[in-house]
Amino acid sequence: MADFTLKINGKPHQISNIEPDTPLLWVLRDTLGLVGTKFGCGVAQCGACTIHLDGSAVRSCSMPVSAAAGMNITTIEGLASDKGELHPLQQAWIDNDVPQCGYCQAGQIMSAAALLASNPQPTDAQIDSAMSGNLCRCGTYHRVRKSIHDVAAKAVSAKTSAPTAG
Amino acid sequence: MTHTSDKPEGITDYFASLMADMTPAATGFSAPVVNLNRRSFMQLLGIAGGGLVLGFSLKGPQAQAQEQGALAFNAYLQIRPDGKVIIQAPNPEIGQGVKTSMPMIVAEELDAAWDDVEVVQSPINAAAYGMQFAGGSRSIPQNWDTLRRAGASARAMLVAAAAARWNVPASELITADTAVHHRASGRSAAYGELADAAAKLEAPQTVSFKAVSDYKLLGKRISGVDNLKIVTGQALFGIDQVQDNLAYAVYEKCSATGGKVVSANLEHIKTLKGVKDAFILEGNGKTGELMPGVAIVADSTWAAFKAKKALQVEWDLSAASDESWADIKHQAMQLADRVPATALMESGDVTAAMTASGNKAVEGLYTHHFVAHAPLEPQNTLATWNTDGSIEIWSNTQMPGRAVTAVAGLLGIGEDKVTLHLIRAGGGFGRRLINDPVCEAAAIAQRVKGSVKLQWTREDDTSRDFFRVGGFHAMKGAVDSNGKLVAFEDHLISFTENGDAPVSGGALNQLGFPEGSCKNARLAQTLLPLQIQCGPWRAPGSNTIAWAQQSFLGELAAAAGRDQLEFLLEALAAMPEPNPQATSPAMNKHRAIATVKLAAEKAGWGKTLPAGRGMGVAFYYSHAGHVAQVAEVSVDDNKRISVHQITAVADVGPIVNLSGAEAMMQGSVVDALSTLAGQKITFENGVISPLNFDGYPLLRMNQVPPVEVHFIHSDNPPTGLGEPGIPPLAPAIGNAIFAASGQRPRTMPLSEEGYTLV
Ligand code: FES
Ligand code: FES
């Protein structure tokens, strides 16, 4: 049993008396009540549990809490701005009606957000490779990919129109 | 909770009664609409906010007849004075979109602006609400008329209220955007302003419905009502539920169906960190309810999972499945040639047509393996046992009404002591029609006298699934010297659990096609005993029958030296004319031909393709939907398959939500391709494998082909789209592989024949 300080969505959380091998996923869900991050397989095969650790997409089911201490953790609950403004991907997901059952979607969005943060204009192949760790049992892949492209395209048009607008 | 007979009781009978409740004949049933303001229902149901409240019933006639004396409705429509339109949706949402599409139908006839509509999920109450389920693509067709009637009734009452207020004839009034308008005088009144006056009127006895051409909302793209919650990670699913003083449980059952617990290292388990209790449950011997096992209750999911790994159980396997796929396959091979004396259907003389001179005979044995449902959210349920001997349950079951009955029986309490809250499900595909996780959670909660969230691991979810049954189709057929289909035979080797009826999904459904399109036809089945538990899997039966029969039709076309498309269209045209007196939905050859022709046209059938590339076409009719699909694939020398394009055309009547409908079809194609490519559950001595996604591949984004979807907007009653998009995909791919390579795949999954999908 050990104590940890986790920095989640910009805020510190004291976690006490926890087994160091507990996957971050279950600390988020059971200890902190952040249930947006999902359990699908427990063995880093499905991506439902994807979060950001210092900006990179990782599978929280296979990441012991001890390894995440001190790092910046972002979950789906922290993706929108503090003022509640949705991340462009979240908005695109609604506009394109991506979810079917919806269970995989937090993980899909977190993987996509990490991709766009490092590569704002990904090709189809780059999207495929960044997203291939995220299973969707309902088969929403077409709309997932379209939504990523939509957000990337908007970022470009925002950039090119910026000088005249400003 | 004791069980005396040796073998566990399976779910065959459960499904027989379930299917009777879902008969397609229920389509078009229209229940009365009740003005709830005129009885004191609002208080009873806790409906706040006043205004006009209409109750109606969303369930089939059988279910209604059984429940005379109970409240006659299970859903309501409320128009509040503040202008909000509340529509209560009673059916489980499992990703098929009914929580959005069913209220859309009400809103259309009501002429409400979609932005004014709020959708709420109704509670599950056995006494008041009757049957609530998601299965068989029945949610929409079964309730189409009733939903339209609810909206049209409210609209008529609001119009009558406006006519009285303005002292003008109702015929001069029109409705649009949640308001009544009088063009001549330029007056308008919002529904909210009229709601209290309308509430004092009788609900009309008869109403007329809009023509399809007047639809403003139906057929449009509407984003799912829960999407904001989903993309922001709010608590929505079964696994997200919490209660005060919640404990976390796991339940270990024997890896072979029917195994009983002799002993377990419970004392050691109880010493592990975070473990509160561990005990054996004997169960009631029903695979669909509570089988013997060991429960571990802990202070976190992880503590429970870890303890489960340390659990050692001695199992009594005397009544357990010791079946192996290899043995079953061996038995089936012996039987394949021996067609049973009594056929399910027989016309003409297949044997004579096969051997007649000038005719060309073809034979092929098709194999399909068992597969799992693998919903992404592993099974779970939260149950709270209260000190007064009642239980409250939060579950994502597809069959909530049956869950209440099962739990009451299992715990020995009245159904009035069971409250079930229906929670959104992370995928269903038929798995959650069976309530074993609900029963397990309830039994554990009763034992520990508190709140328990039962969570299955992925490995539990796979190994204790009710699988789509495997089987073998021994196909025979012949074409004559003109290349016409003259004989068709399918002998299905399938399974029975109770020694009598086929297991769920294991019957040879009779579509009528292609056996109805040639003079000599025979359908027969042989049933082998099976204890491995099976259940309905998206488009039960059809998903494998279509693979064998429609692929074989492609083999016959090839034997005739003819184009697949031309051969298929000719066979469809030879089907009998549809019976205009038919009361239940049936395949209609004209609709079938229209879907096939449009799919071929959109896919560019007949265009020149590079070497190694080919197109395949298949048609199937299931769950009252006509669907044709064309696949374009290439195959290389190492049997690596690339799928370049899938073109799908469906006639499922008017489309309710275009976005949802298109998503269902794309999802069906992905699911069917995933299953065809590499999914296989096998068993040895009753023990199931594989257990997790590393051995059970789901399609990943890079393997997903473009899917083009078209709908033929006919005026037939609509049907659901959860299922009919599945069956034609596999034979379309099989036919395309043959066109591309000259090799005919006959095993599902294709990986068994060395194919890989790239
Ligand atoms: S739950 Fe973590 S990858 Fe599946
Ligand atoms: S939407 Fe159901 S798993 Fe992706």
The DSSP secondary-structure symbol of A28 reads I
User: What local confidence, expressed as pLDDT, does residue B654 receive?
Assistant: 86
Domain boundary pick from B231, B249, B277: B231
Chain A hits for B306, CB-CB cut-off 8 Å, are: 19
In this complex, the residue of B424, B674, B707 whose CB is nearest that of residue A142 is B707
Q: How far is A42 from chain B (nearest CA, A)?
A: 7
Whether residue B15 lies inside any domain: the answer is no
- Whole-Å CA distances, A136 to A91, B124, B324, B725: 19, 29, 31, 17
Q: Is B479 in the same domain as B606?
A: yes
B323 vs A91: CA distance, rounded Å: 50
Do B351 and B425 belong to one domain? no
Which ranges of chain A have pLDDT less than 70? Answer: 160-166
Same domain membership, residue B251 and residue B168:
no
B628 and B699 both lie in a single domain: yes
B231–chain A Cβ distance below 8 A for any pair: yes
Tell me what pLDDT residue B43 has: 56
Cβ distance A43 to B302 less than 8 Å, yes or no, reads no
**pLDDT at residue B120 in the model:** 82
Whether residue A44 has its Cβ less than 6 Å from ligand 1: yes
**Nearest CA-CA partner of B618 in B553, B683, B677:** B553
The Cα–Cα gap between B13 and A106 comes to 39
Which of A123, A137, A141, A149 to probe by mutation at the B interface, max B CB count within 10 Å? A137
Is B20 inside a domain boundary?
no
Q: What is the pLDDT of residue B1?
A: 37
Q: Is the pTM of this model over 0.80?
A: yes
B558 and B683 inside one domain: yes
Whether residues B104 and B147 fall in one domain: yes
| DSSP conformational letter for B69 | T
Residue ranges of B 705-734 with Cβ closer than 8 A to chain A: 706-707
User: What residue in B sits closest to A126 (Cα-Cα)?
Assistant: B702
Contacts of B228 in chain A (CB under 8 A): 94
B604 and B700 part of one domain: yes
Structure tokens that stand for B352 in this block: 């004579």
* DSSP-assigned letters across all residues of A29-93: IIIT--TTS--S-SSSSS-TTEEEETTEEEEGGGSBHHHHTTSEEE-GGGSS-TT-PPPHHHHHH
Name the stretches of chain B with pLDDT < 50.
Answer: 1-4, 21-29, 60-71, 126-131, 133-134, 136
Instruction: Identify the nearest ligand to the CA of B692 by its number.
Output: 1
> Least CB-CB distance to A97: which of B223, B306, B698?
B223
B193: which 2 tokens? 């302003």
Domain count, chain B: 3
Q: Tell me, in angstroms, the distance from the centre of ligand 1 to residue B565's CA.
A: 43
Contact yes or no for B701 and A131 at CB 8 A: yes
Residues of A in contact with B701 (CB under 8 A): 127-128, 131-132, 134, 141, 144-145
List of E strands, B344-429:
345-347, 360-368, 380-385, 391-395, 418-422
**Closest ligand 1 atom to Cα of A59:** 2
In a domain? residue B622? yes
- Nearest ligand (C-alpha, residue B424): 2
ipTM: 0.96
Q: Which of B182, B197, B231 is the last residue of a domain?
A: B231
In what helix (H) or strand (E) does residue B632 lie, and over which residues does it extend?
strand B625-635
Query: Are A41 and B236 inside 8 Å of each other by CB?
Result: no
In angstroms, how far is CA B376 from the centroid of its own chain? 15
Residue B363 · residue B545 · CB < 8 Å: no
Which residue, B395, B423, B455, sits at the end of a domain? B455
B237 Cα: distance to centroid of ligand 2 (angstroms): 12
**A59: Cα within 13 Å, side-chain hemisphere:** 18
- Residue found under tokens 């005990």: B279
| A122 residue type, one letter | P
- Identical fold for domains A2-78 and A88-158, yes or no, is no
Cβ count within 10 A of residue B324: 15
HSE, CB side, 13 Å, CA atoms: give it for residue B714.
19
Q: Which ligand is nearest to the CA of A48?
A: 1
Q: What are phi and psi of A107, to 5 degrees?
A: -65, -40
All residues of chain A having their beta carbon less than 8 Å from the beta carbon of residue B240 are 35
Q: Residue B248's domain is classified under what CATH number?
A: 3.30.365.10
Domain coverage including residue B747: 336-372+467-757
Is residue B483 domain-resident?
A: yes
> Ligand 1: distance of its center to the CA of A109 in Å?
14
Question: Do B636 and B687 fall into the same domain?
Answer: yes
In a domain, B461, yes or no: no
Residue B66 backbone phi and psi in degrees, to 5: -65, -20
Which segments within B229-281 are labelled E, that is strand? Answer: 246-253, 260-264, 275-281
Judging contacts by C-beta atoms under 8 Å, the chain B residues touching residue A97 are 221-224, 227, 659-660, 663
CB contact set of A129 (below 8 Å; sequence gap of 6+): B702
- What is the rounded distance in angstroms from the CA atom of residue B14 to the CA atom of residue A78? 45
When scoring A51, A100, A111 by the number of chain B Cβ atoms within 10 A, the one with the most, hence best to mutate, is: A100
B207 and B283 housed in the same domain: no
Q: Is residue B23 part of a domain?
A: no
Chain A residues in contact with B693 by the CB 8 A cut-off are 40-41, 43, 45-46, 135
Ligand 2 pocket by C-beta < 6 Å: which residues?
A 99-105, 136-138, 140; B 95, 376, 427
Answer yes or no: do B140 and B104 share one domain. Answer: yes
pLDDT at B457: 98
Token representation of residue B403? 């869950």
Flag whether B200 is in a domain: yes
Contact criterion met (CB < 8 Å) for B671 and A139: yes
Select from A39, A86, A135 the Cβ nearest to the Cβ of B239.
A39
In SS3 terms, B480-528 reads as: CCCCCEEEEEEEEEEEECCCCCECCCCCCCCCCCCHHHCCEEEEEEEEE
Sorted by where each begins, the domain ranges of chain A are 2-78, 88-158
In a domain, B731, yes or no: yes
Distance A134 CA to ligand 1 centre (A): 9
Q: Is the CB of residue B273 less than 8 Å away from at least one CB of chain A?
A: yes
Q: Which of B321, B326, B343, B746 is nearest to B526 (CA)?
A: B343
Rounded to the nearest angstrom, the minimum Cα separation between B656 and chain A is 15
**Rama region for A41: left / alpha / beta (φ>0; ψ in -120 to 50; rest):** alpha
B643 touching chain A per CB within 8 A: no
Give the pair of three-digit tokens for residue B103: 């209220």
- The CATH number of the domain covering residues in A2-78: 3.10.20.30
Give the percent of chain A with pLDDT over 70.
96
DSSP lists the bridge partners of residue B189 as B180
Fold of A88-158: DNA polymerase; domain 1 (1.10.150)
User: In whole angstroms, what is the distance from residue B507 CA to residue B426 CA?
Assistant: 28
Structure tokens given for B335: 């039987």
Length of chain A (residues) = 166
Helix (H) or strand (E) holding B114: none
Expressed in angstroms and rounded, the spacing between residue A105 Cα and the centre of ligand 2 is 6
